[in-house]
Amino acid sequence: MATKKNKVSQRKTQPAAARRPTPRSTPAASRGAPAGEPSESHGVVARIQGRWPTLTEGEAHSLGELSTDPQRVALGLRTKAPGVAIDAVRWALAVDEQLRAHPGVARYYHPKRFAFFLLRLMALLDAVDAQATKLASKLAATDGSDAAALVAREHRGRLLMAMDRLAGRRPDLIVALASARLEGTTHETLADSMRRLAVLATQWLRKSDPILLEVSGLSPELVEEVRTSATALMTAAAASREARAILGRDTPEVNLVEGWVLEEMLRLRDDFEQAHDADSQIPRLVPGKATRRVLARPRTRSARASRRVVAQAKAALAKGQPGRRMNGAASA
């Protein structure tokens, strides 16, 4: 079992076993699964979990004490959860294979720490799926606001037509109707105009001759229809604003779980770096585009200084000055 590759998916986009730090493809964790169903990545991670120790509640708690929630949230704010989930699944595949192919890796990265990483990754996959489901419902609400606006405009148009007929050529009624129209393009302006027209129409219903109301088509039912449409439009518009506010942005709850996974990936990066230094057959873990901002190893000042010294030494040699000392360091 240590040498045989496990098939992790029957779909066309089957992830390759981790022959290198970041395999080319893996189940898209960013695709939200249907409500109540786990994503494909859940199955991949669950199969990997089955090969490694199961942590006790106490062990998981102790490992979770290595950092704080504010620290995790700070990391999560720097990335997008769906992308982090994809990179984390890739790393899980790579680490699973390397731990089994090279037992010496365990001297640098403990299998129980890997089990904890998988535990946090599963929580992130749950959070990403839940966020995708919530976003889908919010996007539906956005579509609903446009549909509500179409209905509202139809009802407003019918009310205006009836009130225009009732006003006739009477200046006072014409001026009052023009003031209540509030022509505009936003949903809020449309709803406000409908409420104003409904108030004015109610006054005209009380004062007008029944025959004029009959021939104009102005009725209490039409006015109530307009009021109901205005309320529905404002409700849908509020849901639409909320949906647009969260588009492309992780919720605070997701940022927390996301940051927890990023912390474990930082630990993985450093431990595999040490393992690679000891055995070049063990590959480094290379972050993908989604996590590079957090996981890319920064160039240290000492490394830059070293390169500068080497460059200066080469320049001195090219000029035939092998004995010159530069910045306190002897040239090569």
pLDDT 10s digits, 277-302: 999 999 999 999 999 999 997 655 45
Whole-angstrom distance, CA of residue 239 vs CA of residue 137: 10
Whole-angstrom distance, CA of residue 243 vs CA of residue 119: 30
Residue bearing the bigger pLDDT, 263 or 316: 263
pLDDT, residue 166, reads 96
pLDDT, residue 139, reads 65
Closest CA to 125 of 15, 206, 37, 200: 37
Alpha helix positions (H), the chain: 40-49, 57-64, 69-76, 81-101, 111-167, 171-181, 187-207, 210-216, 220-246, 252-278, 292-295, 301-318
Torsion of CA 48, 67, 61, 76, to 10 degrees: -50
Predicted confidence (pLDDT) at residue 55 exceeds the cutoff of 90: yes
Whole-angstrom distance, CA of residue 135 vs CA of residue 141: 10
Residue 307 belongs to a domain: no
Residue 327 belongs to a domain: no
Predicted confidence (pLDDT) at residue 12 exceeds the cutoff of 70: no
Are 204 and 220 within 8 A, CB to CB? Answer: no
- Interval 231-245 mean pLDDT: 80
Q: State which residues form the domain around 125.
A: 1-298
Residue 227 in tokens: 């009021």
- Interval 147-171 mean pLDDT: 93
Residue 320 belongs to a domain: no
Residue 27 belongs to a domain: yes
pLDDT range class, residue 252, cuts 50, 70, 90? confident
Domain count, the chain: 1
- Interval 133-142 mean pLDDT: 68
6: helix, strand or coil: coil
Residue bearing the bigger pLDDT, 106 or 331: 106
Predicted confidence (pLDDT) at residue 28 exceeds the cutoff of 80: no
pLDDT tens readout for residues 186-217: 888 999 999 999 999 999 999 999 999 999 99
Closest CA to 194 of 202, 322, 258: 202
Are 81 and 128 within 8 A, CB to CB? Answer: yes
Residue 125 belongs to a domain: yes
Predicted confidence (pLDDT) at residue 34 exceeds the cutoff of 80: no
Query: Over pLDDT 70: what percentage of the chain?
Result: 76
Predicted confidence (pLDDT) at residue 71 exceeds the cutoff of 50: yes
Mean pLDDT for all residues in the chain:
81
pLDDT, residue 245, reads 65
Residue 313 belongs to a domain: no
Residue 11 belongs to a domain: yes
| HSE, side-chain direction, 13 A CA sphere, residue 327 | 10
Residue 259 belongs to a domain: yes
Predicted confidence (pLDDT) at residue 82 exceeds the cutoff of 80: yes
Residue bearing the bigger pLDDT, 28 or 169: 169
Of 7-16, 64-73, 242-251, the poorest mean pLDDT is in 7-16
pTM: 0.55
pLDDT range class, residue 305, cuts 50, 70, 90? low
